[in-house]
Chains A and B, each alone.
Chain A
Amino acid sequence: MSDKAYLLTGLNGDKTWGLADYIKRGGYEALKKILREQITPDAIIAELKKSALRGRGGAGFPTGLKWSFMPRQFPGAKYVCCNSDEGEPGTFKDRDLLRFNPHIVIEGMIIAGYAMGCERGYNYIHGEIFEIYERFEAALAEAREAGLLGKNILGSNFSFELFAHHGYGAYICGEETALLESIEGKKGQPRFKPPFPASYGLYGKPTTINNTETFASVPYIILNGGEAFLNLGKPNNGGTKLFSVSGHVERPGNYEVPLGTPFPELLEMAGGVRGGRKLKAVIPGGSSAPVLPASIIMDSTLDYDCIAKAGSMLGSGAVIVMDESTCMVKALERLSFFYHEESCGQCTPCREGTGWLYRVIHRIEHGQGRQEDIDLLDSVSENIMGRTICALGDAAAMPVKSFIKHFRDEFQYHIDNKRCLVPLELQREGSKIYVG
């Protein structure tokens, strides 16, 4: 944990997730400040813009700008939605945030409602973490009890109600428009954009959707100012960020570090590569981000711009570490299976292409690869990318392209020799489960 941490800090105690503890940590001060000083929505959005807070869900879109798209004067219902449908393989930060500090998200959403003129919010929580949904419901009950949610919050004339909604585990419902469809009780399928949610969102009303961690960053900005938040990180990459480190490290887990932290520092915090083996590759931003070989990632800092320059994406901050015991073909086979399984089936390239990719990689991994397969994979990925309704198509294609780009020799070896380039003994060693 960095000393700049504010999302997951001060969480030692019995019921640290509870309202009393949160208030002791300075919780709801930002909300009180807004209501007390009658800070205008415009001022809040200006502060957000100054903070360079960028969406923590994966796309990294500037939050202040997104909030400014909401037609605040639009009469009638408007909604603010929180995307806690954390389905990206490797990502587990929102789960911990909601488990240990749910009120910071609630406070962030209330402020969002205030800033965008919404009276209603939904937090869509991934269906496979049901205890987190229950935790969030408990926190909501506390907040309602304390008059922090509902009519005339803290005696002001601002009213805001917030509801939790749990999904059923479909990855696609993390796509913001599929999420809206799912809240509406429909099949979770992305909508074609335009129109964007800011004009036609939940139940056809203007809606803003942000990631859990994004909302959780808002109270800090209100209390300390956009400038202070920006200074936590680096220009255009304000604040700290949660990184979910998994894979071949000694201490996998969530780490909150300022944006711009060099990757080796994060790796060290996580205890370094397991068993002292050599680092092979890292997927820096969740399974849909292109993989980066060790040589590139070790020279990178963890922020949106640097990772993008290195040819990948910071994404959701899910750092998947792979050491030299990893067979890259097998790793890609697993990833491709995931996208094949999670495609909603609505549009052609993704519905048909993800299964094709998986089957070809599966064949290669099982010693039935053909010489033309590598180029085929590359070309099929190319045909999926940028041709689909939502980003799942790109998410399925990017790992394939990047694995082939950086580790083509391993795929070629598989096809030529019908076995892995990485010796099996080493693979077994690397996949041992550590106890304690």
Chain B
Amino acid sequence: MLEIEIDGKKVKVPDGGTVMDAANKAGTYIPHFCYHKKLSIAASCRMCLVEVEKVPKPLPACATPVTNGMKVFTHSEKSVKAQKGVMEFLLINHPLDCPICDQGGECQLQDLAVGYGGSASRYAEEKRVVVNKNLGPLISTDMTRCIHCTRCVRFGQEIAGIMELGVANRGERSEIMTFVDRTVDSELSGNAIDLCPVGALTSKPFRFSARTWEMSRRRSISPHDSLGSNLVVQIKHDRVKRVLPLENESLNECWLSDKDRFSYEALNSEDRLTRPMVKQGGQWIETDWQTALEYAAKALKGVIGEHGAAAIGALVSPHTTLEEQYLSQVLIRGLGSDNVDFRLRQSDFSADETRVGIPSLGMPVAEINELDRVLVIGSFLRKDHPLLAQRLRQAAKRGCQINLIGHSADDQLMKLQANLAVAPSLLVGELAALAVAIAEQKNLAVDASIAALASEVSAEIKAVATSLISGESRAVFIGNAVVQHPAFASVWFIAQTIADLTEARLGFFGEAAGSVGGYAAKAIPQTGLNAAAMLQSSLKAYLLVGVEPALDFADSVAAKAALEKAETVVALTAFRSAVDAVADVMLPIAPFAETSGTFVNCEGSAQSFHAVVKPQGETRPAWKVLRVLGNILELDGFAFESSEAVRDEALSGGLASALSNRIGSVTLAKGRTNNGVERIADVPIYFADPLVRRASSLQKTRDARAPGMRVNASMIQRLGLEAGGRARVSANGVMAELNVELDAGVPDNCVRIAAGHPQTQALGPMFGNLAVERI
């Protein structure tokens, strides 16, 4: 530890600390622009120049290492003179157009200019004008305002993992730009807006729609991925205008993925259902709540009366809150059925038989950064979990060896020890081989049933084994593609074996904001039918909660067929188009911003939030709708006064003790030898849930472009295709026509066709064989 005196205040900082660190510790503010605690030091804005005893020149606090006994004067005449000098330079070419600048009121330059700027400019020459750039649909530019702090550049290089922005040209003509007219396509790009200390990079969707001081700020939790990012939702006139990160060092740090940040646009979408509707004679008719609820109750009761309680079932979106999931299952069970599930994209449910507890990450999110060796199985990491991937990226930078085994070797923008792509039918065999290789290298025994399944141990698998048996802190993570895999239970069991052999922690990334909550809320069948079985056995009535049937299921064709055949479909939905093709009654429910509730994130933290705006139109929070429906159906246990009461009851058994990633013995599924063409289905980041599908700006990004069919070069040859051409893909007699895209990361015998998109929905199951022919 080194001792330093800042403005007479003594502080101790660890060796290698800077004057800025010491000042932060002492609670002294030193003005700065280019310095950011999460980014590397540039020392280029010079705003943080301070006087240091015995040093003739003022030194930049951000880059000056502390020496023992150093005395720093942050507000001395010399310091302030230097800071004012720098401020003058920053302002001479700045347009000073605060009245028309979106950053006005939350601008670091504006704030500091009040303290350090002159009241009049001594600069009488022509000011610089910089041409604006098109960075894509999310980031708006006013480059004349740029002060060249390079935070956006360093963010790309260091956090997002890709340098999409750089400084071109020199001197006064330096400009921040992308490489020759490219756009900024990172899934974390919106953070550059937060980082920009001036109004050079602002939010395009938010542009000119409100002033920061006109909005109230309320906390919320992101309803998308399993991280549960903390949000600040900004509101004006009872409408959500913008979403910003709420700093939470243990989860999202100071970042947000673009999905979390920009999906709020869907809240104000035209597609919102704002009045209850009932289908009569094939026509949708608006009605009042009482009528609609009584209609729904009567329909459900009618089916039970005629076909028995087992003929009804509830399908609940994994993006719904704990409370919504809990009341859904209470309602269904109250009606006498056990058919309830939230795991809509899962196809193998045999793990339920020997699963010990609720699968979760198995460790605090923040500990990801400290891992030394990681195996990730079946994850489209960067797009499935943008901020968990960011943490792994930081870990990789620290020297963590990250091994990926999945269905596509996508570029994760981080240093990887291995990035292996295997066909879905080969996943079990390859992982078994990995277990065998590890056991061999560690001189341990491996379960004979696993050894029997193992493929030949390849050099790559051997290298992964070697990597995983070293290091101090290890983890094996199971991604979404494994949970969706037809041999999920087998993969889980082998992953557990690998974790045991390497003394690693085992964890699930989790698909959605409610993936842990669904288990906690018991929105899974005990004796009844799971999501897939409910569709296969064609129930007579379905209750849909927040579901978009055409896009949310493992097999969209089966879902459509089952729902169309049903006598009654009662849908609680925020969006009309999500269910209007299959439902008989639509009850408008509030999306996350308009309801209170709880999301249990991947690490098992239950994060509750309040509604930040009033529900639109006659929309009601889903927990209230379910409660009233329960009351109308005269069921017990629906006397809740608040969502907190629902939460407390749902979690009354304790959450932490219920978490477990262990699985008992499993009858291992040998991967079928498969000579056909296998489908690999990712769920594209901006098609993953009903909300983000309706976020208009996100839908204009590159990640949201219509999916094609991605194949490697040898498959193109084998199938007689042409990259850039069209292909006809068929499965179970249904066809889709898609563009052929060359992707070296797709394994042999496979085509990668995204799920969750209207264009590919007709193809049905996410896994299985397809026929492909050239058009």
Asked whether B169 is an interface residue with its Cβ less than 8 Å from the other chain, the reply is yes
Q: How far is the CA of A343 from the CA of B170 in the complex (A)?
A: 7
Residues on A with C-beta less than 8 A from B58 are: 386-387
Partner-contacting stretch, out of A213-221, A297-305, A344-352 = A344-352
Which one of B44, B60, B92 has the highest number of Cβ atoms from chain A below 10 Å of its Cβ?
B44
Q: How far is the CA of A355 from the CA of B123 in the complex (A)?
A: 11
Asked whether A155 is an interface residue with its Cβ less than 8 Å from the other chain, the reply is no
Q: Mark A367-406, 1 if CB is under 8 A from B, else 0.
A: 0001000001000001100111100000000000000000
Q: Mark B23-65, 1 if CB is under 8 A from A, else 0.
A: 0000000000000000001111111010000001110100101
Asked whether B409 is an interface residue with its Cβ less than 8 Å from the other chain, the reply is no
Q: Which of A346, A356, A360, A386 contacts B56 (CB 8 A)?
A: A386
Asked whether B85 is an interface residue with its Cβ less than 8 Å from the other chain, the reply is yes
Q: How far is the CA of A389 from the CA of B63 in the complex (A)?
A: 11
Asked whether B93 is an interface residue with its Cβ less than 8 Å from the other chain, the reply is yes
Residues on A with C-beta less than 8 A from B49 are: 387
**A131 → B minimal CB distance (Å):** 26
> Interface residue count for B (Cβ, 8 Å)?
35
Known contacts A352-B90, A386-B58, A389-B43; A345/B122 CB under 8 A: no
Residues on A with C-beta less than 8 A from B147 are: 348
Which one of A187, A356, A360, A387 has the highest number of Cβ atoms from chain B below 10 Å of its Cβ?
A387
Known contacts A349-B89, A387-B49, A388-B46; A356/B125 CB under 8 A: yes
Chain B, 726-752, CB within 8 A of any chain A CB? none
Q: Mark A193-223, 1 if CB is under 8 A from B, else 0.
A: 0100000000000000000000000000000
Known contacts A352-B93, A389-B44; A345/B171 CB under 8 A: yes
Q: Mark B136-174, 1 if CB is under 8 A from A, else 0.
A: 000000000001100000000000000000010111111
Residues on B with C-beta less than 8 A from A343 are: 170-172
Known contacts A192-B63, A340-B172, A345-B171; A383/B85 CB under 8 A: yes
- B125 pairs with A387, CB closer than 8 A: no
Residues on A with C-beta less than 8 A from B86 are: 348-349, 383, 387
- B44 pairs with A348, CB closer than 8 A: yes
Asked whether A354 is an interface residue with its Cβ less than 8 Å from the other chain, the reply is yes
Q: How far is the CA of A345 from the CA of B148 in the complex (A)?
A: 8
Q: Which single residue of chain A is at the shortest CB-CB distance from B63?
A: A192
Residues on A with C-beta less than 8 A from B148 are: 345-346, 348, 351
Q: How far is the CA of A355 from the CA of B148 in the complex (A)?
A: 16
**B33 → A minimal CB distance (Å):** 9
Q: Which single residue of chain B is at the shortest CB-CB distance from A194?
A: B65
Q: How far is the CA of A347 from the CA of B82 in the complex (A)?
A: 14
Q: How far is the CA of A341 from the CA of B123 in the complex (A)?
A: 19
- B44 pairs with A347, CB closer than 8 A: yes
- B82 pairs with A387, CB closer than 8 A: yes
Residues on A with C-beta less than 8 A from B169 are: 345
Report how many A-B pairs have Cβ atoms within 8 Å: 91
Q: Which of A187, A359, A383 contacts B88 (CB 8 A)?
A: A383
Q: How far is the CA of A382 from the CA of B167 in the complex (A)?
A: 27
- B57 pairs with A351, CB closer than 8 A: no
Asked whether A342 is an interface residue with its Cβ less than 8 Å from the other chain, the reply is yes
**A271 → B minimal CB distance (Å):** 38
- B171 pairs with A351, CB closer than 8 A: yes
Q: How far is the CA of A353 from the CA of B171 in the complex (A)?
A: 10
**A352 → B minimal CB distance (Å):** 4
**B748 → A minimal CB distance (Å):** 37
Residues on B with C-beta less than 8 A from A376 are: 122
Asked whether A170 is an interface residue with its Cβ less than 8 Å from the other chain, the reply is yes
Chain B, 255-314, CB within 8 A of any chain A CB? none
Q: How far is the CA of A345 from the CA of B44 in the complex (A)?
A: 9
Residues on A with C-beta less than 8 A from B65 are: 194
Q: Mark B706-738, 1 if CB is under 8 A from A, else 0.
A: 000000000000000000000000000000000
Q: Which single residue of chain A is at the shortest CB-CB distance from B87?
A: A348
Residues on A with C-beta less than 8 A from B47 are: 348
Residues on A with C-beta less than 8 A from B174 are: 345-346, 351
- A360 pairs with B57, CB closer than 8 A: no
**A387 → B minimal CB distance (Å):** 6
Q: Which of A170, A351, A360 contacts B172 (CB 8 A)?
A: A351
Residues on B with C-beta less than 8 A from A352 are: 89-90, 92-93, 172
> Interface residue count for A (Cβ, 8 Å)?
32
- A344 pairs with B171, CB closer than 8 A: yes
Q: How far is the CA of A389 from the CA of B49 in the complex (A)?
A: 11
Q: How far is the CA of A359 from the CA of B167 in the complex (A)?
A: 24
Q: How far is the CA of A354 from the CA of B172 in the complex (A)?
A: 9
- A353 pairs with B89, CB closer than 8 A: yes
Q: How far is the CA of A209 from the CA of B172 in the complex (A)?
A: 28
Q: Which single residue of chain B is at the shortest CB-CB distance from A192?
A: B43
Residues on A with C-beta less than 8 A from B125 are: 356, 359-360, 363
Residues on B with C-beta less than 8 A from A389 are: 43-44
Q: Which single residue of chain B is at the shortest CB-CB distance from A386?
A: B57
Q: Which single residue of chain A is at the shortest CB-CB distance from B86?
A: A348
Q: Which single residue of chain A is at the shortest CB-CB distance from B92?
A: A352
Q: Which of A346, A349, A356, A382 contacts B123 (CB 8 A)?
A: A356
**A41 → B minimal CB distance (Å):** 29
**A389 → B minimal CB distance (Å):** 6
**B151 → A minimal CB distance (Å):** 14
Q: Which single residue of chain B is at the shortest CB-CB distance from A379?
A: B122
Residues on B with C-beta less than 8 A from A360 are: 125
Residues on B with C-beta less than 8 A from A194 are: 65
Residues on B with C-beta less than 8 A from A344 are: 170-171
Q: How far is the CA of A344 from the CA of B148 in the complex (A)?
A: 12
**A97 → B minimal CB distance (Å):** 28
Chain A, 134-177, CB within 8 A of any chain B CB? 170, 172
**B76 → A minimal CB distance (Å):** 15
Q: Which single residue of chain A is at the shortest CB-CB distance from B33?
A: A348
**A85 → B minimal CB distance (Å):** 15
**B304 → A minimal CB distance (Å):** 72
Chain A, 17-62, CB within 8 A of any chain B CB? none
Q: How far is the CA of A345 from the CA of B175 in the complex (A)?
A: 9
Q: How far is the CA of A202 from the CA of B86 in the complex (A)?
A: 30
Residues on B with C-beta less than 8 A from A355 are: 171-172
Q: Which of A172, A346, A353, A382 contacts B44 (CB 8 A)?
A: A346
Residues on B with C-beta less than 8 A from A370 are: 124
Q: How far is the CA of A376 from the CA of B124 in the complex (A)?
A: 11
6 tightest A-B CB contacts, nearest first? A383-B85, A345-B174, A352-B89, A386-B57, A343-B171, A192-B43
| Further contacts, 14 of them, CB under 8 A, given A344-B170, A345-B171, A348-B46 | A172-B170, A343-B172, A346-B44, A348-B147, A349-B85, A351-B174, A353-B89, A355-B171, A356-B92, A356-B125, A376-B122, A383-B88, A386-B56, A389-B43
Could you give 15 example pairs across A and B, Cβ below 8 Å?
Answer: A170-B170, A172-B170, A192-B60, A345-B169, A346-B44, A348-B47, A351-B148, A355-B171, A356-B89, A359-B125, A387-B49, A387-B58, A387-B82, A387-B85, A388-B46
